[in-house]
């Protein structure tokens, strides 16, 4: 009937856990009227390690978490309470990071890249353990919390980090273990090919990943929605808006936002399978009235 759109932003560091997040996500949805809600996993980016191993070979000691671990329980409570409040009004997707990201968040990027070179099999074991747990998390937010699917964020595909062949050999298996397991419980799982910090990715790493729709950084990858839709096998695609503090969405006045919305309508309104969104999360301090203004323009289309 019209173009759908949703955008999101992270929360400040000191407000990423507990009651505040639940209230914030509900308020954000109510005040912006986005067409679907990505429930943020802020506060749970790093995989919970008892300690960071002293040597690369110690990654072999990593074991899956118990079902009652706070990493599961707290995220499930967050998702369940948000879905209970708004889940009949729009679709909800819980943010789940790929295992490679969760491990880097926990032990630093430098450490994991060092350990891959020193003992790749040990790190691959750790990635497999995390993939098991993130698959379980995906299952539970869908079957227990009631989310429609997950928003699966893959990272580490920067051209400066791995070649395509290296990524497929080292990282892809853990990505696919999570995503394919999640697909057993929902047909609506979304894929985010993260272009954080402006680094270009080898998009071919993720070209054939089994998902419902794909989001990538249009401006970083210099690949617009029409081109990307063809590239990703004509799957539905999400994106189009720049997400930085230099963007019109962040800086613009009401007239700027209205013009931006009209431009996107004119460009994409007649193309099936395109959903408007941003390259990635918006700055946490964005004035959400700007998002509400954008949604108002789009909803009138």
Inform me whether the pLDDT recorded for 260 exceeds 80: yes
Give the pLDDT confidence of 160-205 residue by residue, as tens digits: 999 999 999 999 999 999 999 999 999 999 999 999 888 999 999 9
Give the pLDDT confidence of 12-22 residue by residue, as tens digits: 888 889 999 99
Q: What is the pLDDT of residue 170?
A: 98
Q: What is the mean pLDDT of the chain?
A: 96
Rg (CA), the chain: 19
Percent of the chain with pLDDT over 90: 94
Would you give the end-to-end CA distance of the chain in angstroms? 9
Q: What is the pLDDT of residue 182?
A: 98
Task: Let me know: does 160 contact 198? Beta carbons within 8 Å.
Answer: no
For residue 11, the 8-state DSSP code is -
Q: Identify the band that residue 122 occupies on the pLDDT scale cut at 50, 70 and 90.
A: very high
- pTM, two decimals, is 0.96
Task: Let me know: does 44 contact 133? Beta carbons within 8 Å.
Answer: no
Residue 156: CA count within 13 A, CB half-sphere: 26
For residue 54, the 8-state DSSP code is S
Give the pLDDT confidence of 36-70 residue by residue, as tens digits: 999 999 999 999 999 999 999 999 999 999 999 99
* CA–CA distance, 170 with 108 (Å, rounded to integer): 18
Q: Identify the band that residue 101 occupies on the pLDDT scale cut at 50, 70 and 90.
A: very high
């Amino acid at each position: 009937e019209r173009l759908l759109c949703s955008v999101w932003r992270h929360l400040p560091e000191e407000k990423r856990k507990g009651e505040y997040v639940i209230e914030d996500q509900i308020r954000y949805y109510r005040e912006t009227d986005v067409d679907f809600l990505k429930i943020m996993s802020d506060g749970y980016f790093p995989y919970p390690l008892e300690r960071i191993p002293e040597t690369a070979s110690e990654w072999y000691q990593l074991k899956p978490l118990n079902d009652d671990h706070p990493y599961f329980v707290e995220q499930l409570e967050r998702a369940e309470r948000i879905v209970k409040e708004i889940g009949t009004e729009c679709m909800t997707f819980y943010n789940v990071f790929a295992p490679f990201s969760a491990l880097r968040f926990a032990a630093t990027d430098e450490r994991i890249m060092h350990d891959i070179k020193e003992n790749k099999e040990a790190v691959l074991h750790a990635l497999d353990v995390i993939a098991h747990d993130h698959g379980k998390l995906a299952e539970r937010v869908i079957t227990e919390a009631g989310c429609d699917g997950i928003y699966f964020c893959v990272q580490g595909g920067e051209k400066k980090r791995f070649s395509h062949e290296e990524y497929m050999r080292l990282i892809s298996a853990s990505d696919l273990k999570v995503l394919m397991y999640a697909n057993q419980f929902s047909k609506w799982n979304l894929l985010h090919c993260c272009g954080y910090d402006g680094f270009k990715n080898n998009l071919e790493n993720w070209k054939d990943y089994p998902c419902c729709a794909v989001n990538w950084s249009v401006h970083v990858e210099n690949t617009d929605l029409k081109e990307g839709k063809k590239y990703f096998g004509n799957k539905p695609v999400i994106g189009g808006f720049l997400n930085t503090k230099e963007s019109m969405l962040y800086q613009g006045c009401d007239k700027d936002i209205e013009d931006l919305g009209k431009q996107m309508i004119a460009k994409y309104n007649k193309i099936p399978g395109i959903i408007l969104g941003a390259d990635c999360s918006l700055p946490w301090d964005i004035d959400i009235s700007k998002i509400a203004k954008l949604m108002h323009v789009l909803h009138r289309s």
